[in-house]
Amino acid sequence: MARKFLYAIAILVMLALASAFAYRFYGIQLMRQFMVPSGSAVALPPTGADAYAKPDMWIARPDKPGNPALWTPPGYQPAADPKAAVFFIHPTSFLDTKTWNAPLDNADANNRAALFLQGQASAFNSVGAIWAPRYRQATFGAFLTNKAAAQQALDFAYRDVLAAFEQFVAQAGDRPIILAGHSQGALHLSRLLVDRIAGQPIARRVAAAYVVGWPVSVTADLPRMGLPACTAADQAGCILSWQSFAEPADPSLIVDTFDATAGFTGQPRAGTPMVCTNPLTGRPSDSAPASANLGTLIPDQNFQSARLVTQSVPARCDGRGFLMIGRNAPDFGQYVLPGNNYHVFDYSLFWANIRQDAERRLKAYQG
């Protein structure tokens, strides 16, 4: 299982390395030329009404053998009787440049997505039974262009996520709910909060929502998302979000794109602060030393083993809402995105603290 986890990190690293190499040596235009599909997005038919009632439409589900979300490092175990239900939306695992959306039976994309769950969704297996759907995700290149086809591809992917969520709610019973995602998965989660949580009775069942690795504007997005940003470590029913950077940080690639868009309220995002929750403390706009870090998942240099290292990474919210992890961050070399962006490791840097955070927020919800 440890080796499989490392493969997941290796795939994320490959994405980061490809992006970093192209950007640093050839420029963003060349990266777009090679990573963005050239044709139009093909309209995808909706999934059938009962499609997500089938186990094979899920990468992780409580009744599915070999659930990858049950992975844990040595010294940790998933809950024998989980009290919550977790809906987790995985990040981009489809790299094809011939089509905009992943077919549901694409083995490479599905295998990578399953491996991602081991290093990300696993943080929640001490509190909840985890559901993670397959969905016709947008390809990696959709995030490198403003072509209409890119937005269409993301819309098609989101439609699958909505269908999966409806089935998840039906299967989860009356248990408390934790929502989580990363990168493309966090983008879809932010939309789901607007469309299915805000103003609905189900909002009262949400113990926490982890919108990680995707920016959330405090003024242009949050008012429409149905839950407030978390303001305390023991608060339930709130949103957590962060984007990790080592210092000196240059988040301009994110800021430039973010500032050119309007938020869920219809107001411009330009210049607005972003939600930044410190995963070490569970509080917003906060700072904590490395000694507060309960465990970072770090593979060795050759990706042959993994270990959980304590007290290695500090964190503080800075500027408009980026999470700074200091100048002595783990040395992943070229595996870091341009601008010292540790996006690939948003979960693994704080794995044990995220686990504790989820436990604390579920306890607060039950109380």
What is residue 301's predicted lDDT score, i.e. its pLDDT?
60
What is residue 142's predicted lDDT score, i.e. its pLDDT?
87
Q: Which residue has the higher pLDDT, 131 or 147?
A: 131
pLDDT-based confidence at residue 339 (cuts at 50, 70, 90): confident
What is residue 302's predicted lDDT score, i.e. its pLDDT?
52
Q: Encode pLDDT of 47-104 as tens digits.
A: 887 999 999 999 999 999 989 999 999 999 999 999 999 999 999 998 888 899 999 9
- The mean pLDDT value of the chain amounts to 89
Structure-block tokens of residue 346: 């948003």
Q: Encode pLDDT of 89-139 as tens digits.
A: 999 998 888 899 999 999 999 988 988 898 899 999 999 999 999 999 999
- Short-list 292, 186, 308, CA closest to 233: 292
> 174 — phi, psi (to 5°)?
-105, 20
Q: 220 in helix, strand or coil?
A: coil
Burial 220-255 (b: 16+ CB within 10 A, else e): bbbebbbbebbeebebbbbbbbbbbbbeebebeebb
DSSP string, 111-122: HHHHHHHHHTGG
Across-strand partners of 298? Answer: 307
What ranges in the chain are assigned the alpha helix state H?
Answer: 2-25, 28-35, 107-119, 148-172, 184-192, 252-258, 351-366
Q: Encode pLDDT of 279-290 as tens digits.
A: 999 999 999 999
pLDDT at residue 12 greater than cutoff 60: no
What is residue 17's predicted lDDT score, i.e. its pLDDT?
45
Q: Which residue has the higher pLDDT, 28 or 295?
A: 295
CA gap 120, 158 in Å, rounded: 20
Q: 285: buried, middle or exposed (CB in 10 Å: 19+, 13-18, 0-12)?
A: middle
Q: Provide the residue type at 315 as one letter.
A: A
Q: Encode pLDDT of 208-258 as tens digits.
A: 999 999 999 999 999 999 999 999 999 999 999 999 999 999 998 889 889
